[in-house]
């Protein structure tokens, strides 16, 4: 169709925007693990300060399902493109303002309060980001290309990890002992430049053709979340549980391991940041590979395989790091990246296929963010508490394995929608499971 966006522009908008938003989000995670405890909660003990910093980090996750529901509502009513511009602005401006925030030593208790408010705004924006970026890609794809198209939205997570850790590593190197005075601000302040780039790219994207057809047929739901809860509550619950495993593994490595590896094992923080950076490169490559597998053999089957590997890797993940060997720790992180990538490569297509177009933005966003809340926010806090109580990584591995098992069982219970007409509309055909899992 004349004037339609090219495949390249669609995939670029999906990838660039999510990469910037996850950069914003993960910069906070690194700062929470390394410096926020002493800067914003100095009157606490080291363990309590770390827990408080991770608690502030978790606040962003609490805001994410709310952002997913609200932004998903308008994404299903107004359109995908408008919401993508809004989410980028919310996360980008909030991140920049965190870089300007005075610490506890300057303004006292107002500092952690302002940090929590900005983290809430950041989480709210990120909450609606993934669903919109995913659908801009997958709703422009044929059913046999959905996973590959959706993988470009999934690239945003490891690219965000890669760029945020790279910039934080740069800040550590140039600031040295001044990291806690001014060096930590550098990654946050740089986000304003990334925001400008993202806005330019996203404003050029056209609306999703599948959503356009829903509008033309006047099938837009007045209350998409209510429609979803009335028609597909089981799907929403199972999708939310299935979404727990990837962030549970990811945040164990990216957030908790930065604290555990330095304080409990004795690694240098720059070394751990470097290892995570290297593993993120493999993570990106494997997402695309897993997406190709998902388009060929079924998104549900590949996601289930990824969840199973997550269960199996929970104990080796810590055992290898506990050897205090850099090569062993690198292998541990590389395998964790593969585990996440298998699920991430299939997730875009899976979440597009289990919800119909009328409620897809809301359903995909809420499920993804609820899974992130349980898997991502809770895991570092539970891990810190478990290690503080038992002084061993074994209870942490057991906890990680159990939550990943929940995701495995949930994805096995999901039923993939078929009945997609050639024009992208949804038939009320029966559900079936083409993956054979």
Q: For residue 1, what pLDDT is reported?
A: 42
Q: pLDDT digits over 372-382, tens only?
A: 889 988 898 89
Q: pLDDT digits over 30-52, tens only?
A: 787 678 877 887 766 666 666 66
Q: Which of 17-21, 51-55, 58-62 has the lowest mean pLDDT?
A: 51-55
CB 154 within 8 A of CB 345: yes
- The neighbouring-strand residues paired with 426 are 420
CB 66 within 8 A of CB 275: no
Residues 6+ apart with CB under 8 A from 20: 88, 91, 92, 156, 160, 191, 194, 195, 197, 198
Q: Is 162's pLDDT higher than 80?
A: yes
Q: Is 157's pLDDT higher than 60?
A: yes
The model's confidence at residue 4, banded by pLDDT at 50, 70 and 90, is low
How far apart CA 93 and CA 112 sit, in angstroms, is 18
- CB-based burial, 215-235: b 16+ in 10 Å, e otherwise: eeeeebbeebbebbeeebeeb
Q: For residue 13, what pLDDT is reported?
A: 78
CB 145 within 8 A of CB 349: no
101 three-class SS? coil
Quote the DSSP letter at residue 374. I
221 or 317, which is more confident: 317
Helix axes 378-390, 46-77, angle to 10 degrees: 160
How far apart CA 385 and CA 390 sit, in angstroms, is 9
Q: Which of 19-23, 72-76, 289-293, 329-333 has the lowest mean pLDDT?
A: 19-23
Q: For residue 50, what pLDDT is reported?
A: 64
Other residues' Cβ atoms within 10 Å of the Cβ of residue 44:
15
Residues 6+ apart with CB under 8 A from 341: 158, 282, 283, 284, 285, 286, 287, 289, 290, 306
Smallest Cα–Cα separation from 132: which of 374, 351, 319?
A: 351
CATH H superfamily, domain 7-413: MFS general substrate transporter like domains (1.20.1250.20)
How far apart CA 91 and CA 94 sit, in angstroms, is 5
420 three-class SS? strand
Q: For residue 426, what pLDDT is reported?
A: 46
CB 328 within 8 A of CB 316: no
Q: Which of 43-52, 133-142, 212-221, 243-252 has the lowest mean pLDDT?
A: 43-52
Q: For residue 423, what pLDDT is reported?
A: 39
Q: For residue 368, what pLDDT is reported?
A: 94
242 or 258, which is more confident: 242
Q: For residue 427, what pLDDT is reported?
A: 42
Q: For residue 315, what pLDDT is reported?
A: 96
Most confidently modeled range among 71-80, 95-104, 306-315: 306-315
Q: For residue 49, what pLDDT is reported?
A: 62
How far apart CA 28 and CA 405 sit, in angstroms, is 28
Q: For residue 47, what pLDDT is reported?
A: 66
Q: For residue 2, what pLDDT is reported?
A: 43
Mean pLDDT in the chain? 85
∠ CA 387-392-394, nearest 5°, is 105
Q: Write phi, then psi, for 95 (nearest 5 degrees).
A: -65, -45
Q: Write phi, then psi, for 420 (nearest 5 degrees).
A: -85, 120
- The neighbouring-strand residues paired with 420 are 426
Q: Is 160's pLDDT higher than 80?
A: yes
Q: For residue 78, what pLDDT is reported?
A: 87
Domain spans in the chain, listed from the N-terminal domain onward: 7-413
Token pair for 182: 């001014």
Q: For residue 411, what pLDDT is reported?
A: 97
Other residues' Cβ atoms within 10 Å of the Cβ of residue 156:
25
Q: Is 11's pLDDT higher than 60?
A: yes
Indicate the helix (H) or strand (E) that contains 115: helix 110-138
Residues 6+ apart with CB under 8 A from 212: none
Q: For residue 419, what pLDDT is reported?
A: 44
Longest dimension (CA), the chain: 64
């Amino acid at each position: 169709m004349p004037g339609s966006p090219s495949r390249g522009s669609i995939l670029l908008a999906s990838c660039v925007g999510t990469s910037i938003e996850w950069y914003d989000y993960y910069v906070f995670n690194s700062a929470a693990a390394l410096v926020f405890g002493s800067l914003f909660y100095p009157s606490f003990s080291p363990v309590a300060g770390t827990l408080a910093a991770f608690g502030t980090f978790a606040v962003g996750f609490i805001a994410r399902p709310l952002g997913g529901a609200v932004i998903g509502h308008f994404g299903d009513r107004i359109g995908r493109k408008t919401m993508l511009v809004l989410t980028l602005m919310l996360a980008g401006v909030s991140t920049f303002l965190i870089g300007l925030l005075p610490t506890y030593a300057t303004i006292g208790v107002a500092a952690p309060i302002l940090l929590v408010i900005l983290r809430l705004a950041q989480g709210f924006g990120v909450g609606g980001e993934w669903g919109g970026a995913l659908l801009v890609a997958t709703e422009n794809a044929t059913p046999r290309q959905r996973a590959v198209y959706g993988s470009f939205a999934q690239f945003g997570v490891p690219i965000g990890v890669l760029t945020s850790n790279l910039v934080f590593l740069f800040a550590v190197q140039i600031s040295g002992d001044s990291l806690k005075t001014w060096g930590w601000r550098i990654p946050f302040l740089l986000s304003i430049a990334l925001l400008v780039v993202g806005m330019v790219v996203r404003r050029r994207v056209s609306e999703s053709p599948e959503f356009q057809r829903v509008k033309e047929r006047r099938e837009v739901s007045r209350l998409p979340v209510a429609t979803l809860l009335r028609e597909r509550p089981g799907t929403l619950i199972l999708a939310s549980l299935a979404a727990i495993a990837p962030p549970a593994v990811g945040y164990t490595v990216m957030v908790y391991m930065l604290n555990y590896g330095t304080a409990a094992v004795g690694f240098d923080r720059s070394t751990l940041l470097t290892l995570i950076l290297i593993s993120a490169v493999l993570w990106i490559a494997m997402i695309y590979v897993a997406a190709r597998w998902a388009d060929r053999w079924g998104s549900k089957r590949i996601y289930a395989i990824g969840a199973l590997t997550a269960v199996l890797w929970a104990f080796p993940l810590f055992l290898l790091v506990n050897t205090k060997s850099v090569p062993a720790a690198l292998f541990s992180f590389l395998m964790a990246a593969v585990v996440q990538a298998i699920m991430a490569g299939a997730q875009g297509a899976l979440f597009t296929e289990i919800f119909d177009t009328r409620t897809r933005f809301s359903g995909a966003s809420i499920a993804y963010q609820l899974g992130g809340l349980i898997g991502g926010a809770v895991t570092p806090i539970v891990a810190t508490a478990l290690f503080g109580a038992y002084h061993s990584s074994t209870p942490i591995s057991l906890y990680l394995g159990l939550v990943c098992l929940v995701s495995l069982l949930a994805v096995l219970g999901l039923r993939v929608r078929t009945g997609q007409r050639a024009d992208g509309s949804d038939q009320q055909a029966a559900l079936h499971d083409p993956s054979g899992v």
